[in-house]
Amino acid sequence: MTAFSLEPEQLARCADLRALAADRLRPLAEKGEPGRVNRPLVAELGRLGLLRRLFTSGALDLCLMRESLAYACTEAETALALQGLGAHPVHAHGTEAQRARWLPRVSDGDAVAAFALSEPGAGSDAAALELRAEPDGPGRWRLTGEKCWISNAPEADLYTVFARTTPNAGARGVTAFLLPADRPGLTGTPLDMLSPHPIGTLALDAVPVTADDVLGTPDRGFGVAMGTLNLFRPSVGAFAVGMAQAALDATLTHTARREAFGGKLRDLQTVAHQVAEMALRTEAARLMVYAAATAYDSGAPGVPGRAAMAKLLATETAQYVVDAAVQLHGARALRRGHLLEHLYREVRAPRIYEGASEVQRALIAKELYARTAEQEPSS
């Protein structure tokens, strides 16, 4: 298999997953309350074995799952992705005791996980975070500060929390902690956001943690965060591609049926060219996502730059495609409950979270210049 084609078995699995999402997950999603954790939906993802695959599959399989779910049920896609994002640090860096306690529950859909990195003053600049981990004896700290824009907060059962253990050390002084939601001093507030999935703030008032709660090594938590994002950034692109494909397919159906100016909408050259451009960009984004995921799985060099390119192109493309689809559908696409109205609200956030588009451009440029410097002959 190459980065530019899928095996028949993979294509069949994607088709089965789209059907499964439409038949079994979409009804549960529709019963959920926007902005709240949909625990029946998470539990069904567990019963179907999809959450377990988060910890047994590579980056490409993660992308195929997210793209397929996003096509038919964005709420299911997001619920799956947030479980992976919140619990992947436990899978990759946790102790045997930490993994044994939490990963089975996350895989079964019994425990909801969250990734708590962003802060009110440290969103895109993650190395500038200020949540303090103040020493409280040997191997003990107390966490004090605030996290903001945290998906699944404040309803999650466990949080991967990043805190500053060494002041004024930038990225080198951050530690990752595994924090159960019932820890004293931890509270949270939901936020009313444009996108329908749950997002909130966390307030930490001298929350006690010990060396048993550390994920990885003290002062090396920034690497835990970046390693997780390098895996999940291409799959954010896959989420975007799934939404773009859903918008494109809806547009193909609509323009083939809609009567306008004595014929079908598709007969108008401007419409046909617009649809062609939507398809072109969607396929280009899909190929870049698959290439980045395959590079991650194979251990190829330049993964951070490839992941950034994939997320950037795919999320910007999805915004363009969904917007164009709304335009070609007209006012009907703006009615509550229409697929495109839903996608229009969903598609905006991925250009910001897990690194805004501007951050992705900075990462790409940094890697390009570093590569150029390595290739230059020494004077």
Of 102, 127, 122, whose CA–CA distance to 181 is shortest?
A: 102
Are the C-beta atoms of 137 and 114 separated by less than 8 Å? no
Instruction: Provide φ and ψ at 209, rounded to 5°.
Output: -140, 155
Identify the sign of the CA torsion 216, 235, 334, 336. Answer: negative
CA distance 155 to 38: 10
Q: Which residue type, as a one-letter code, is found at position 133?
A: A
Tokens of 87: 């619990």
Name the percent of the chain in helix, strand, coil, to the closest 5.
Answer: 60, 15, 25
Whole-angstrom distance, CA of residue 141 vs CA of residue 138:
8
Question: Which stretches does DSSP call E strand in 100-151?
Answer: 113-116, 132-135, 140-151
Residue 66 C-alpha from the chain's centroid = 9
Please tell me the distance from the alpha carbon of residue 72 to that of residue 28, in angstroms, as a whole number: 13
Residues 256, 332 contacting (CB under 8 angstroms): no
The answer to whether 196 and 120 are in contact (CB under 8 A) is no
Point out the residues that are catalytic: 354
DSSP 200-226: EEEEEEEEEEEGGGEESSTTBHHHHHH
